[in-house]
Structure 1
């Protein structure tokens, strides 16, 4: 029997509109992949990729520990040797070149800040390009967060948070005022570790601070905007080999659904993980932003949630080469469709011949916040949410191809 490939073809009624939505919702309605200790890729690494490589892989939030050492503000965790890269190095060599290369990108710096205001201003003077890009809430008169498109059009694409209240505000630098926001005025955040070691997994979602709590309140800034939610999801002692487990789609989605979203009253805006390339954290973020179909290995959405395919993306996943997605076609039995638009068409097909068995799922109305079950990918189904037709008795091993096109 010829080896077959499984094609999962998902279509939206208007791809151009879908692409526009990716820029035109308020900033607080998006989720951004965030690298914990983004700079730490040396002695005891939390990441293996450089800052630039992280950004190229879709990271949009960088958590950076900054200390004064040897006359500069340096990126170091705990004690510094005085030879570590500086904050200006990170900006000039990685962040600002990337933002110039990708002119619509919004990047957030989360600074765990152990510096004086004078030292931070002096360091930012050495990265003058940051000033003109810094996000400045005082300049907005909107009753909501601006959209990413509006922020990009205004040139305010670099959001900088500091944990040090006295360092917030407009820092006078050679490039002009660089605006820094006090994180506790604009965000809420859960406790910062899953457990000290990889042998502990506390998925509960409690506030890192007494004030503010996780529940959705307004910012303390000049605008009463919804507070952004930073979801920390990493161990105190990082271990790269274990991060694929921590960062699996199922682990992240289960924690959000069962703990963090109920505690915070909203989805996270920043999902912070170690070793961003391990597991499916990027897929989870894409699913939170664009909707998703999640696949299970037993009927009726039972058994293991083995993988998920986010809406609004076009990619090909080679199972033999891309084991991180762990989506073997022959195990797909049922699915859950969530947060996708009306008219979305999802097609599962063995693509060896035009007569191959296939399953087609059509979404009847916007599934905003809803989770709709496809009981069996091999059976017909129709209700107020979905229409499912199938000529499949199962799918063979092979390649999972995911694409989006206009619904027919």
Structure 2
């Protein structure tokens, strides 16, 4: 090949390249140079537009349109002030329906005669991961969910920089101080003597042992913790009489040697927990089956009822708005109980602020007491 002329090299430096070449830049013939440049520029613009649109779409799908608007100065995450705007937050439902005197257990007098394994608990999945985190499971802190009536709490226990704490998948995400959380829980229980909580630890990053967890929380709540020793589970009234307001489980990690923290899947059967769409949750042939705890005593049945964004696998608020709705929840409980023959004890949800979870749970518990 003859050496390239100076003018050809100058044209190359000005950017007249073959956009389809996988080799070093090579100049077009003179009459193709302008057309090649235009095509190249057009392709680049199209790619940038597609990428930008995809990124915006992903952000809207993950965080919601209103939040994305607020980031670019086009609005806020506050409720739309226009008269036609419909409220999206959970309708007000009175959790505590007990009489002014007499028995009261977790908001209902009728709950008191039910054994722990006969009660349905509205349960917070990844309860500690709220909007202070980049990828929240909930908008508000778990302390507010307790006030709303949630009596089941799932927490990811981690060991970060040598300290036992709460996190979510990585020490940089969903981190909350374990002592602070249980100090707040203890304060809540002191103010609500008629209520009890079921708490399930998932052993996560750093694999803290149940003993290490108990070393942190035990001094705070030991006197309130019920220790199961076999046989029938107590009624809520029995727990109340004995001043016991907490029952602890854990899953994953090493087998618990702490009497106060029992292995969840020794006692509980649980559905699958990875659903990428509402349609997958609705597929009861797969979403209601026992995934973990198949060989358990099946004293408890836990239904997972939350959706992860299909693109990135992070919690979907839009999905939770659908699956937390009253008709959906009622049907899901009925379908899963029909599939397994088990009564549900834990309905595990994300974004507790949306939907009708507390109403469905309390109405179900009333029916169970009859």
TM-score (norm 2): 0.63
1:267 to 337, 343, 357: 343
Choose from 218, 221, 228 the match for 1:137: 228
2:270, 2:293 within 8 Å by CA — same for their partners in 1? no
Distance 1:188 1:102, change over 3 A: same
Match of 2:117 in 1: 28
Shift of 1:200: 4.3
Alignment of 1:110-259 (within 5 A): 110-114=200-204, 120-127=210-217, 128-138=219-229, 143-164=231-252, 166-170=254-258, 179-193=260-274, 195-197=275-277, 200-204=280-284, 205-209=288-292, 211-212=294-295, 219=297, 227-237=299-309, 238-258=315-335
1:219-239 per-residue CA deviation (whole Å, 9 max, x = no partner) reads 3xxxxxx61111110113322
Shift of residue 254, structure 1, vs aligned partner: 1.0
The answer to whether the 8 A contact 1:167-1:180 is kept is no
Matched, 1:290 2:360: no
Q: 1:54 to 1:279 in 2, by over 3 A?
A: same
Paired residue secondary structure (2:176) = coil
User: Which stretches in structure 2 are left out of the alignment for 5+ residues?
Assistant: 1-100, 310-314
Q: Secondary structure at the match of 2:243?
A: coil
- Tell me, yes or no, if the aligned pair for 1:23 and 1:147 is still in contact at 8 Å: yes
Deviation at 1:252, TM superposition (A): 1.0
2:355 aligned with 1:279? yes
Q: Shift of the alpha carbon at 1:201?
A: 3.8
Aligned equivalents of 1:136, 1:62: Cα separation in 2: 18
Deviation at residue 199 of structure 1 after TM alignment: 6.3
- Of structures 1 and 2, the larger Rg is shown by 2
In 2, Cα distance between the equivalents of 1:210 and 1:137?
18
Question: Aligned in 2, Cα 1:207/1:81: closer, same or farther, shift over 3 Å?
Answer: same
* 1:166 aligned counterpart, secondary structure: coil
Deviations 1:278-315 (A, max 9, x none): 11111110111013xxxxxxxxxxxxxxxxxxxxxxxx
Moved more, 52-61 or 144-153: 144-153
Q: For the residues of structure 2 that align with 1:60 and 1:165, how far apart are their CA atoms? A: 24
- 2-structure distance, mates of 1:206, 1:83: 29
Deviation at 1:164, TM superposition (A): 3.3
Q: Distance in 2 between matches of 1:44 and 1:179?
A: 31
CA distance in 2 between counterparts of 1:123 and 1:245 reads 35
Conservation of the 8 A alpha-carbon contact between 2:308 and 2:316: no
Change (3 A) 1:189 1:210: closer
More strand by share: 1
Residues 194-251 of structure 1 deviation map (CA, whole Å, 9 limit, x = unaligned): x224564444111122733xxxx7x3xxxxxx61111110113322233221101111
State whether residues 230 and 272 of structure 1, in contact with CA within 8 Å, keep that contact through their aligned partners in structure 2: yes
Q: How far 1:124 moved relative to its partner?
A: 3.1
Partners in 1 of 2:223 and 2:103 — Cα distance? Answer: 30
User: What is the TM-score normalised by the length of structure 1?
Assistant: 0.57
Flag the structure with higher helix content: 2
Question: Are the equivalent residues in 1 in contact too, given 2:277–2:307 (CA < 8 A)?
Answer: yes
CA contact (8 A) 1:72 1:123 kept: no
Q: Are residues 240 and 24 of structure 1, via their aligned partners in 2, closer, same or farther at CA, if it must alter by over 3 Å?
A: same
Aligned partners of 2:253, 2:170: CA distance in 1, in Å? 22
Residue number in structure 1 paired with 2:157: 66
**Compared CA separation, residues 184 and 125, structure 1 to 2 (3 A):** same
User: Comparing both chains, which one has the higher relative contact order based on Cα–Cα distances under 8 Å and sequence gaps of 6 or more?
Assistant: 1
Cα distance, 1:87 vs. partner? 2.2
Count of matched residue positions in the alignment of Structure 1 and Structure 2: 256
Separation of aligned partners in 2, 1:274 and 1:188:
20
1:315-358 superposed Cα distances (whole Å, 9 cap, x missing partner): xxxxxxxxxxxxxxxxxxxxxxxx685xxxxxxxxxxxxxxxxx
Shift of 1:81: 2.4
Q: Which runs of 5+ in 1 are unaligned?
A: 1-14, 171-177, 220-225, 292-338, 342-408
